[in-house]
Amino acid sequence: MPKIIDGIEEKIYNAAYELFSQKGYEFVNMKMVANKTGIAVGTLYNYHKNKKSLYLSVLENSWQETLNKLDEIMDNEKKSKKLVRLITVLYTEISARKGIAQELIKSSELKEIKKKVINKLKNKLLIRIEEALDCHKDYRNAEVDQETKKRLVKLIFIEIIAMNNEFHDDKQKNIEFIMNSVNSMLS
């Protein structure tokens, strides 16, 4: 009879999240996750058929938590504060997920299935940025066509990731820089 381990799925998730965040997909293997979880590799395979399955599960679940935080901002924050709060939360979340966040802007080794998951996630994040941008007073007062708006939303998203990578220890300065960039583009 197999041994029942309390909270094993959460332990697997936490270990995999930490490893994928620190090292990225390509530098993590199932043995590392099993060791960090304190279980046998065979036991890990009872829960996830392969590394790709585990990674996609971690990717989707971890970003759903972020999407929930962004929705909370959109539902409860003052209009004037939505964009800066959204950028701040997204910046913080991307910072915490280094290896996982990089998948949002780079090509992948997981091919088609991962590309679909990544694109779906990226679109959800872009929609949240667009909604927050719509609440920003300088945007509402500017005459911006749809094409420019799409580019601005993508620019904000890419800048959050790029600033996080290049100037990781300057979170507040980076957020201010992004907001100043947005404001200057809209004036």
In a domain, 83, yes or no: yes
Ramachandran angles phi, psi of 7, nearest 5°: 65, 25
Domain containing residue 101: 56-186
Number of domains in the chain: 1
In a domain, 123, yes or no: yes
Q: Which residue has the tokens 């991307």?
A: 94
Check residue 109 and report its DSSP letter: S
Q: Locate 119 and state its tokens.
A: 């694109």
In a domain, 112, yes or no: yes
**Using H for helix, E for strand and C for coil, what is the string for 22-62?**
HHCHHHCCHHHHHHHHCCCHHHHHHHCCCHHHHHHHHHHHH
Distance (Å, rounded) from C-alpha 48 to C-alpha 133?
A: 39
In a domain, 15, yes or no: no
Under 8 Å between Cβ of 58 and 13: yes
Q: Is 40 a residue whose pLDDT tops 60?
A: yes
Global pTM reads 0.79
Over residues 104-146, the pLDDT tens digits come to: 666 455 566 667 788 888 899 999 999 999 888 777 777 778 8
In a domain, 76, yes or no: yes
In a domain, 6, yes or no: no
